[in-house]
Amino acid sequence: MLLHMAEFDGPLTSDALAGMMQTNPVVIRRILAGLRKEGLVHSEKGHGGGWRLAKDLESVTLYDIHLALGAPGVLALGHRTEAPGCLVEQAVNSAMGEAFDAAEALLLSQFQQITLASLSRDFHQRLDQRGITQQALSEAAHMRNCSDGDD
């Protein structure tokens, strides 16, 4: 979504973004409200209002976004109990916890390497390969980018 905002010149409304992301405007607002708290986006009310990126593409990583989204759990396999009385469970949690921590650390360290700028470059490369000219970086072009595929 941030990349879509990056391509568009001017603010994008929750409605427009909801159309791109195929979801509800309120869902967009909920998500972007979190990102705004971390200074990633900026919003304006009223006529000509909407959402706008607040930072340079080079300075925002997937890790920043992850944190801004509340650092949700990355691993689907979870320990049930935090401090179980069962010693068997303690042993299992201990061993799996180490493995989980290592995997999560690796994932997040990679997130820190992925900037919005790098993703944007990749996106434009794919655009060129598809043979679409750079002329129209308008909302219409965005819509096309998102619906031109096979879905």
Partner DNA sequence: TTTCATGTAACTTACATTATTACATGAAAT
Partner DNA sequence: ATTTCATGTAATAATGTAAGTTACATGAAA
Residues that bind a second copy (CB under 8 A): 3-4, 7, 62, 72-77, 81, 83-92, 94-96, 98-100, 102-104, 106-107, 110-111, 114, 118-120, 122-123, 126-127, 130, 145-151
Residue 101 CA to chain centroid, in angstroms?
A: 22
61 binds, among a second copy, DNA, none (CB under 5 to 8 A by kind): none
Rule CB under 7 A: say whether 44 interacts with DNA: yes
Place of tokens 């655009």: 127
Q: How far apart are CA 119 and CA 7, in angstroms?
A: 12
Q: In the chain, how long is the greatest CA-to-CA distance?
A: 65
Among 1, 2, 20, 50, binds DNA (CB under 7 A): 50
The least CB distance from residue 24 to DNA, in Å, is 4
Q: How far apart are CA 80 and CA 89, in angstroms?
A: 9
